[in-house]
A = this chain, B = another copy of it.
Amino acid sequence: MKLVKAILKPERFEFIKKALEDKGFKSMTVSEVRGRGEQKGISLEYRGGLMTVDMLPKLQIEIVVRDSDLDTLVSTITESARTGKFGDGKIFVIPVEKSIRIRTGETEI
């Protein structure tokens, strides 16, 4: 199994979720993060002082899938998330050794 970790524009989320659903990917875990890739930073002023805030809000989606579903999942995210501008985001694929459903205790490898 793989953990697919995708860092995306928050405003594309509904759209991406829809695309994932259509392909049968229902389960996911989402968290709010901040990030920077190649986007330029912006500087913030606080009562006279300056601080640089180049960390823009992003949404991180994590989905664990069987190896056989990996390619479909990655391409579904890639296509639905792409706008062609900086900040479209990144996907990382990480190996998962085991997955356990707590309710039933069933384990998948």
Known contacts A92-B99, A102-B89; decide if A60 and B31 are in contact (CB<8 Å): yes
Question: Besides A31-B60, A90-B99, 19 other CB < 8 A contacts?
Answer: A3-B92, A3-B94, A28-B35, A28-B36, A29-B60, A30-B34, A30-B35, A30-B55, A31-B32, A74-B98, A81-B102, A82-B105, A83-B103, A89-B103, A91-B100, A93-B98, A94-B95, A94-B96, A95-B97
Known contacts A60-B31, A78-B105; decide if A100 and B90 are in contact (CB<8 Å): yes
Number of copies: 3
> Is there a chain B Cβ closer than 8 Å to A47's Cβ?
no
Chain A contact residues: over half helix, strand or loop, or mixed?
Answer: strand
Contact across chains for B30 and A31 when beta carbons are under 8 A apart: no
Residues of B within 8 A of A92 (CB): 3, 64, 96, 98-100
Residues of B within 8 A of A74 (CB): 98, 100
Residues of B within 8 A of A6 (CB): 102
